[in-house]
Amino acid sequence: MDFSEQQIERYARHILLGQVGGKGQEKLLASKVLVIGAGGLGSPVLLYLAAAGVGTLGIIDDDVVDLSNLQRQVIHATASIGMAKVDSAKNTIAAINPDVRVITYQDRITAGNAMDLIGGYDLVADGSDNFATRFLVNDACYLSKTPLVSAAILQFDGQVATYKAHEAGDNPCYRCLFPEPPPPGQVPSCAEAGVLGAMCGMIGSLQATEALKELMGIGQSLSGSLLICEALGTEFRKIKVRRDPGCALCGETPTITDLSLHEIAAGEQCRPAASGSA
């Protein structure tokens, strides 16, 4: 691929990096990333992936921009209140980088659409705010052999991890760490417990960084580790996490071989906050 003069200037600080160079930038421009949720985490992830020149960004979110989002969802503006989040995000991205093709899905990710949706992308960045979606996305990514960079935040704490259990080696999936979702109501949501807006920027930027590393195949993958950040004490901890041979999804005798258990779960679960994004 030949860069235009404008692209050489736009991506000059990337191209200067030995580990990135023209080759890495080409990979980014040819990459397709699906971002789940255009909320607190999805905002910085989308902004940085767009600025970095990731060629195709898919955005799935069924929500509209609300005044209470703007304290942390920095891809949306006051003038966009009431607009679909996917459209608001698409407009912002178009203003940042015309190289990026944006595909919007004003929808929720479900057991019915997850495989088709994820199958069209090289990597998924999950910025959803609920356990049902996180487990669904983990399972769909594993079954479709798609790397997943997952993040979560609450109040002053956040965590980031990369999952690619479909690859050989000690690469766990989300279920290896958390076999089952917690009972409904046990872990509060950001809507219930609050979140420091800048935490979304910090954790989402880490998520974007790990996604870019995976797309270019540079550095040490975060797969096999869980990065935990506690902002009040300004503490970062990187915990080694291992593949669980008894994991129901990626273990030696898997019992989850498709997404059918999520169809049942979706029927049982009726939390109104479940559709949103962090």
- Report whether 273 contacts 265 (CB < 8 A): no
- Helix (H) / strand (E) containing 163: strand 157-163
Instruction: Collapse the DSSP code of 173 into the 3-class scheme (helix H, G, I; strand E, B; otherwise coil) and give the result.
Output: coil
**Nearer Cβ to Zn ion (241/249):** 249
Interface with Zn ion, residue 176, by CB under 5 A: yes
Closest CA to 31 of 40, 41, 23, 19: 23
The one among 50, 111, 195, 247 contacting Zn ion by CB under 5 A: 247
Please choose, out of 68-76, 83-91, 149-157, 247-255, the segment that lies near Zn ion by the rule CB under 5 A.
247-255
**Residue among 167 and 235 whose Cβ is closer to Zn ion:** 167
- The minimum distance between CB 244 and Zn ion, in angstroms, equals 6
Q: Which is nearer to Zn ion, 175 or 213 (by Cβ)?
A: 175
Burial (0-12, 13-18, 19+ Cβ within 10 Å), 103: middle
Beta-strand relationship, 148-154 and 56-60: unpaired
Instruction: Please choose, out of 7-15, 111-119, 172-180, 263-271, the segment that lies near Zn ion by the rule CB under 5 A.
Output: 172-180
Residue nearest to Zn ion (CB): 247
What does residue 257 show for φ and ψ, rounded to 5 degrees? -120, -5
Rule CB under 5 A: is residue 164 a binding residue for Zn ion?
A: no
In whole angstroms, the minimum distance from the beta carbon of 251 to Zn ion comes to 6
The yes or no reply on residue 134 touching Zn ion (CB under 5 A) is no
175/185 Cα distance (integer angstroms):
20
Residue 250 within binding range of Zn ion, rule CB under 5 A: yes
CB of 159 to Zn ion, least distance (A): 17
In angstroms, the CA 236 to CA 246 distance is 29
Report residue 84 as tokens: 């679909």
Pick the binder of Zn ion from 34, 84, 117, 173 (CB under 5 A). 173
**Residue 96 or 177 having the CB closest to Zn ion:** 177
Q: 141: which 2 tokens? A: 């990514």
Token digits of residue 214: 């995976």
Strand order in the sheet with 148-154: 101-105, 56-60, 32-36, 123-126, 148-154, 157-163, 225-230, 235-240
Considering the rule CB under 5 A, would residue 196 count as an interface residue with Zn ion? Answer: no
What angle is formed at CA 65 by the lines to CA 59 and CA 68, rounded to 5 degrees?
Answer: 125
Q: Closest distance between Zn ion and the C-beta of residue 155, in Å?
A: 28
* CB nearer Zn ion, residue 27 or residue 164: 164
Q: Taking CB under 5 A as the rule, does residue 132 contact Zn ion?
A: no
Between 11 and 131, CB nearer to Zn ion: 131
Phi then psi for 124, rounded to 5 degrees?
-120, 135
Residue 256 lies near Zn ion (rule: CB under 5 A): no
Indicate whether 149 belongs to the interface with Zn ion (CB under 5 A). Answer: no
Candidates 9-17, 173-181, 207-215, 252-260; binding stretch for Zn ion (CB under 5 A)? 173-181
By beta-carbon proximity to Zn ion, the closer residue of 75 and 250 is 250
| Min separation Cβ 149 and Zn ion, Å | 16
Binding site for Zn ion (CB under 5 A): 173, 175-176, 247, 249-250
